[in-house]
Amino acid sequence: MSSTSTRPRQEQPAQVDVRGPRFAAWATTAVLIATLLVAGASAPAAAALLGIQAVVFAVGAAGGPRKHPYGRVFAAFIAPRLAPVSEREPVPPLKFAQLVGFVFAVAGTAGFAFGITALGLTATAFALVAAFLNAAFGICLGCQIYPLVARLRPSRPLSTQPA
């Protein structure tokens, strides 16, 4: 008889070097500050800049930190110059945080594009606060919310056989 268990094995989620998402947060902070500065001169230009950031968020939400454009820059140019990885974090909360950023960026882009400047500024400011907290202090608001949202998802049934 085999000694393997019939229970499904829980896999650990993929993990990444914490410095990569922090670098991405710094880059995002810079783009969001630039968006707010540009918004004072041109709402359409702010919409374009924030729209590009929305695409970056979408890539991060769908593909995770390793596919994220800023993550690729970190992996190619910065990580090789750093000391070995000493701290890692799981990927799913990071993907969720990128999804939250995407929602704010889309709302802000729509606000700037449709002349609802207050919406554009507010959504951008909220995204900026979240990005800066992660970049400067390592506080990922989306990652903090993730466990609460994960609990709301329906769990997989124990049996895959029809009832």
Interval 118-137: pLDDT, tens:
999 999 999 999 999 999 99
CA 47, chain centre distance (Å): 19
User: What average pLDDT does the structure give for the chain?
Assistant: 91
Question: C-alpha dihedral over 99, 100, 102, 107, to 10 degrees?
Answer: 150
Query: Which residues, 6 or more positions from 60, have their beta carbon under 8 angstroms from its beta carbon?
Result: 24, 67, 68, 69, 70, 71, 94, 95, 98, 101, 102
In a domain, 26, yes or no: yes
In a domain, 118, yes or no: yes
> What is residue 159's predicted lDDT score, i.e. its pLDDT?
54
In a domain, 9, yes or no: no
Q: State pLDDT tens for residues 74-117.
A: 999 999 999 999 999 999 999 999 999 999 999 999 999 999 99
Give me the number of domains the chain comprises: 1
In a domain, 7, yes or no: no
> What is residue 153's predicted lDDT score, i.e. its pLDDT?
82
Query: Which residues, 6 or more positions from 13, have their beta carbon under 8 angstroms from its beta carbon?
Result: 90, 91, 92
In a domain, 22, yes or no: yes
Tell which phi-psi region holds residue 115, choosing left (phi > 0), alpha (psi between -120 and 50) or beta. left
Q: Would the pLDDT of 60 be above 90?
A: yes
In the chain, the amino acid numbered 1 is M
d(CA 113, CA 11): 43
> What is residue 155's predicted lDDT score, i.e. its pLDDT?
72
> What is residue 33's predicted lDDT score, i.e. its pLDDT?
98
For residue 73, the enclosing domain spans 15-147
